[in-house]
Every structure is written in structure tokens, then in C-alpha cells.
Structure 1
């Protein structure tokens, strides 16, 4: 087989392939066998019809068409691999020549496909990254203690105008013109949460129980989503949250500790741990931002459009131009990130260990609410495991890159992130997952795209996007954890319970059982 590549655009190439008859012959033999099992010809049993009879009764054209359709994806994948192409979408294939008769001729075809562009990354050791200090202040501890107290607070009715932080039981009615388009009654809302209608917080502030006011707002959902309506809100009751006193009794109620002093000491350790974790998050995010700012990344528009179409079609919003623009922007940025991280993983020769891959897949299965074994089996049957390896490699690439950079805090002190990004020695000790790296994932994706060579569908992709690997708490060895996501750490900071030992379970249990009650 011979192949050649012509660059059409920075992100698009034309691959021409010539296949000799001898290389196509196994597929031709398979075509004869398959057709023999399907046709009924007097004097011959099914499956036993000789090729010459098939040529006479069915025709050579049907045979060679069957053979080409069967072999095309394999030849495309082989040629793409030999030419070291990194496809980012489905190829458009045109067959230009087929064998004219049995025993002679060639198969020739051309495939146009969008590929990962070549980009030049800056030297990692020349990048400056600064993160916040891990110093814990008394205000940090007080804030964490107050958050715990709120979990054990009680709601008490008050006879005064509502203020920020109060809980108000409300009735809402939305009217557009003369038509009432929506209404709800008896729902509880905390002023300042901002999770309902825009302008609701302002309307409720200063409103006493039994009072009504009207304001204008754009509806957030339903048939009239985005349309402006006149909203009438009535406050039925106003309640404030009363917090328990921060004393030894509260410490015993909310944790395993006997005294408030012991509890606050543990909270201080928790805050320090969270700040340390946030340093890794900030360093990771800064590194990605600096790399993106330093490199011009051409984006394959066809791949973006395919992803946008898939996304909008799944939401049944193909005609929503405003949403299309938003999704296009997100898809473009996501593809830029992927191209950069794939290049970084390749440059750093990132390998994915078996343990790292399994841990990522188990975490992803939880996000999809599936049994881990069933989830992994489904991915394997769909040929998605190499894509998962690629996801882990991208996440790990940032962690490996951070090992080459001196990260400092705001005070100029060098920050040790080994706990979160691991070491080269640890990676060397881990067995690579069947030698699969970012490159092998791309090769597999190339072959996968070939299976639907003339399909308009978007390429298969891992369950994902905002990357499950980046949502896990950082850990020392797992690649998915070495590049922790900012969102995950912030949620950890907001939700973590006191007492880092068994008390964490005790506190959680109590807090869940004794959620805010009403007095």
C-alpha cells in the first residue's frame, strides 16, 4: 500500500492511498463467501457457490463493492497511522479507482480529514506561576465555624421587613400582557441566593409578611423562557436563621470533640489543607492559561460544527441561534484546550498507568450513575477506552509539566506540590497501561473515525466535557487527581465537615439528620 499526504489547510489534509490487488484480495474472498451465503442459485447449496458462478449471476461489480466497503476503513486507518496523522473528525472519502476484474487492478481513494495542527509550546521553565499563601487566619476559622453553625441553625419567624439572608415563604405570579403564564405558591426562598428570578432579591428586601409587590423580570424557564413578564410576589412569612452558640456543647453536638478549642483547632487544620489543595488548582489553571496565551492554535471548524450540531440536536435546539453561538464558543475553547494538552502530553511523553486509568473510569462511572464494571464494559464495546486514556493523559500532562516549574506563593516562598502532581520516579515505577499514551489514543481515534469514513456524524467521544478526571479531589498518584479542578476544590472548601478523622463521619451524620428545623 502506498499513501501520500497533501496539506490543504493548517487543520486539514488530503490523504491519497493506493492498494494493490493482493492486499485487497482477503476482502474480496470474504465478499465472495458472504454473497454465497446470501444468494440462492439452483444446483448449489448456500455458502457453496463458486466465485465464477457469482461473477456470472451476481456480477463482479457487486463483489468488489462489498470488498471495498469492508476494507476501506482499515486501509484508511493504516495509512493515517503510517503518515502520523492525528484526525479530529470524520474523513470525507472518495474512491477514485477499483479493480476492473478479478485478479488485476488497484483500489485508489482519497480522504480529506481535519487533523490536529502542529503548535510550538514555550519552554516550561520560563513560566512564572504565583499562588496564594496557605497561612490560616482567625477569620478563616471563624468563617468555617459559622458555616457549621448554620447547618445546626433553626428558622424562626420574625415580625419585621425581610433582609438579606432571611427565608421567605412566597407566592409568585407571572403575567405577559393580559395572560398569566406561570404561578407558584408556598415556596421557601432565601434572599440573596439568586437562584430564581432576576430582581427577586431586591423585590423581597424590605417586604413584611402579608405584603405584595410587583417587578419585571425575564422568565428563566418554560414555554416563555427569556421573555419579560410582570411578576407579582407575596411574602407569606419571614424567617431568620438563629445559630447555636459556639461553645463546648456545640462542639459535642457537631463533632467528636469535647471542647470548642479542640473543634476550632481541627477546623484550622482543615482550612490549611484546603488552601494547600487550592494552590495546586491555581497552579494548574495558571499554567493552562499561560500556555494558551503563548500559542496561536488554529481550530478545525468542521470538528467544532459537528460538536455544536450534536449538542444542539441532543437538546432539540437546532434553531436557537443565540444558544448556538454560546455552544460554539464553548466547543471552540474546549477543542483548543484539547489540542494544546495533547501536544503537551506528547512532548512530555506522558504515559498512563493502569491504576490511573481504572481510577478515572471508576470516578466517571459514578458521575453517570452506573456500575463501574458495566460502565467500563460499555466503553470497551464501543471502542472508547483509548479515548479515556487520552483524557487521563491530558489531565496528567499539566501535573507533569508543573514538575518543571518553580511555583511560588505570594510571599515569594517556593511551593511544594509533590503531594498533588507526583514525581517522575513514581511514574517510572508504575506499569504503563499497555503502552497507551496520548499518541496511541489518537491512533485509535483515527481508526475509529475510519469506520464511518463517509458518515456526517461527529467523531465518537468520551463521556465527559467538563472532564470527570478534573473533578476529583487531588491525590498523589492518580493522574486524574494530579490536575485537580478549581470547581471541585472550591466545593470541597464550602462543604467539608469538621473533624478530619472519624468525626467527619459523625458530623456528617448529625448534620444530615438535623438539617435546619423551623421553630
Structure 2
């Protein structure tokens, strides 16, 4: 095996194949072929080798034999400690037509490998200091939102439809005078000003009185999820049946008790609980923002030539995660993308951008761990295994069957590298 580095993220490995090695491949190919062919006078799978070769020719086994040999040679590449393969191989320098059973021949595999990272500054990075202070206004905002969540709708007896009111109405949409699918509903409930409908629709309803009808002219956004409507002008015929207004709850100790929160029975206790929750959330957000900025700067300072194979693999992971989300709503991927307000092209671009970012981050963080010679202690490995076992509701013995020690160690070192960079950062 001769290994030649042809770029920072790709190598060519050349192999010589002896007649004995190729014969072993032919044996494997014959064992497979005899189960699929029918030869008169022999039961399926029992035709002798010499009879098979007389009838079909030994050359009929060459392709399968070669694939077997290539697979074994690729296993040798995978076990090589000098490189870490990140994609499937490409066969090069092979003259298939010249292969002969009794002669040696050679071929090469080009494979993508995890690239070396040229780190820039990653220690002592200057980052913005995030204010995680919780103000009285923050608490008041949360209390107000809680009151609104517990508000009830009451019929508005007089007056016209205003922002903040809830309209109960019928509507039907037309494009070029023709009704379209999904453009009609009866007794639909909509809070005016919520932005649930396309721009211009809710504004066009303001001022309507109960029992009145109106044509509302709108234009669908150019990036609307239904391509047959995107960018088109439409007319919605609406008839208003009822107007409802929110009646908010009053902030009293009695109302607080109705929330049934443990150890929270007064307005003062509610404010204290909300403040504590906000402080916890803001601290976590500040920490995450700090981590993101540190990693982004470390990546920007580094040089790395990422192979396409790594990006493609990460794109597959990204799409699998989105498909899993879609299945939770019993939707296929295309429908889920549309309902998310995206076109397929925009989704593909987002997948590419996210994958590229994640791969670059991962490579740089791993390089930092290697540069700083970070190691996982036995205690850290045990704690990580226990965390995984709890996360997946499995015993330690079960989780260790699925997650190797190498993977857990890599995970621990990865997190230690992130912590190392964050702890050394200078907040200004």
C-alpha cells in the first residue's frame, strides 16, 4: 500500500494485487454467483466451479471479484492510523480490460480525509459582555403576558372592528376572478393585528361592523409557500359575524392562587418566581451567546479546507432531523418545508449553510483539544455515560453496547475544548 497526499483533504492509496489475492476474490464471486444461476443437471447452488467457468467464463466473475478485493483494500485504508477517512472511495488508475487471472495488477483509491486545521487565535479572544440583568420591566412584561394568557373573550356589543379585537367571519379568496383551494372558510376566528394572515388582509378588515361585508384586496408575498399563489393579486370577500374583545384578569392574590403554582399564592411570590426564572434563562442565554461568539471567532481565525464529503454527510444529518420533526406532525418533508414558509431552494441553501458551519466548528474545536492535549479522565467518562443512560432511559450496560468509549471520550474532550476557549475569553 502506497499512500500519497494529493491535497490537505484527499489522499491517493495505490495497491498491488497478487494473483492469489485476486483468486480469493474469484472464490468469493463464485460462491455468490452459483446461488443465482441455473445450470441444467445441477441443483441451484451446487454447480461445480469448472462447469460454471466453462459455461459462463471466468471473466463473468471479474467484476464481483474486483469489488471484493477493493472492499478488503479499503478496510486497510480505514485501519490506517495516519489518516481519518470521511467518505467513500473513488477507484482510479485501474485498467479493468487488462486484468488477467494469473497476473498481478494495480489500482488506486482516492479518498477524502479529515483535513488538518491551521489554528489562528483561539485563546484570550475578545468578546462582547452580555448583560444578563433582569429588570422590573422584564418581570412586569411576563406578568402582563400571563394575564393576557388567562384573559377571556367577551362579545363586543357596539362599535367596529379594531386592532386587538377577535373577528368571527366568513371569507373566500379569488385570483383573476377564480376561487382557489384553501381560500375559503366559515366562522373563522382571527385576532386582528396578530399577523396570521398575509400582509394587508387584517388591516383591510379594520373598521368593519357586525353584519357588514367587504372586498379586501391583497397581494401574496413573492416567497409564499404555495407557488401557484406567490406574488399574485387576490380579492377576499369577507362577512363579519361577531366581534370579541379580551377581558384580562386582575392581578390579585386570589387570581394568583388560581394558577396552582407550588408555594406561589401571592402577587409578591409570583413576581419573585418569575424573576428567578428570568434570571436563570437570561444567564443561560448569555452563556450560549458567549460560546457562539467565541467559537465563531476561533473558526474565523482558522484555516481549514473542508472536503465536500463531510459537508454532504452533515447535510444528510440536518435533513434527517427535519424529517423527524415533520413526522411528529404526520407530515412529509416537502409539506413541512412549505408550511414553514420556505421554498425547497431556500431550504436546501439553509441546509448547506448550517452543515458548512457545523463542520467547520467541529473541526476547529477538535483541533483545539488536540493542540492543548486535553484528555478525558475516568471520572468524566463515567459521568458522561451516566448522563447518556439517563437521557435515553437505559442502564449503563445497555448504553455501553451502543456508544463506544472512543465516542464518549471524543465528546468529553470536545466539550473541554469549548470550555477552555470560553474560560480564556476576555469579555469587554
Name the TM tier (shorter chain): 0.7 to 0.9
Flag the structure with more relative contact order, 1 or 2, with Cα contacts below 8 A and sequence separation at least 6: 1
Which runs of structure 2 are paired with 1:193-208 in the superposition (5 Å)?
193-208=194-209
Which runs of structure 2 are paired with 1:71-470 in the superposition (5 Å)?
71-82=69-80, 84-87=82-85, 89-94=87-92, 96-97=94-95, 100-102=99-101, 104-106=103-105, 108-158=106-156, 159-181=158-180, 182-211=183-212, 212-218=214-220, 220-222=224-226, 224-232=228-236, 233-254=238-259, 255-256=261-262, 257-295=264-302, 297-298=304-305, 300=307, 315=334, 323-324=344-345, 327-328=348-349, 330-348=351-369, 353-355=384-386, 357=388, 362=392, 397=414, 400-406=417-423
- Cα 1:171/1:3, change in 2 over 3 Å: farther
- Cα 1:402/1:210, change in 2 over 3 Å: farther
Q: For 1:394 and 1:170, how far apart are their aligned partners in 2?
A: 55
CA contact (8 A) 2:310 2:359 kept: no
Gaps of 5+ in 2: 324-331
Q: For 1:258 and 1:398, how far apart are their aligned partners in 2?
A: 41
Q: For 1:160 and 1:81, how far apart are their aligned partners in 2?
A: 79
Q: Which residue of 2 aligns with 1:18?
A: 16
CA contact (8 A) 1:304 1:328 kept: no
TM, length-normalised to structure 2 = 0.72
- Cα 1:238/1:128, change in 2 over 3 Å: farther
Q: For 1:329 and 1:296, how far apart are their aligned partners in 2?
A: 23
Q: For 2:258 and 2:413, how far apart are their aligned partners in 1?
A: 42
CA contact (8 A) 1:27 1:67 kept: yes
Deviations 1:36-92 (A, max 9, x none): 444455676655555444433332212332222234234224325527555555443
Gaps of 5+ in 1: 364-371, 413-519
Q: For 1:208 and 1:53, how far apart are their aligned partners in 2?
A: 93
Q: For 2:358 and 2:201, how far apart are their aligned partners in 1?
A: 37
Of 229-238 and 78-87, deviating more is 78-87
CA contact (8 A) 1:150 1:243 kept: yes
- Cα 1:228/1:404, change in 2 over 3 Å: same
CA contact (8 A) 1:251 1:258 kept: yes
Answer with 1 or 2: which has the greater Rg.
Answer: 2
Deviations 1:283-337 (A, max 9, x none): 22222322343345555557768959x97996399xxx97436523541442232
Deviations 1:220-267 (A, max 9, x none): 444623132223244433322212111111111002322222222222
**1:269 Cα deviation (Å)?**
1.3
TM, length-normalised to structure 1 = 0.61
Q: Which residue of 2 aligns with 1:64?
A: 62
SS at match of 2:187: strand
CA contact (8 A) 1:117 1:297 kept: yes
**1:96 Cα deviation (Å)?**
0.9
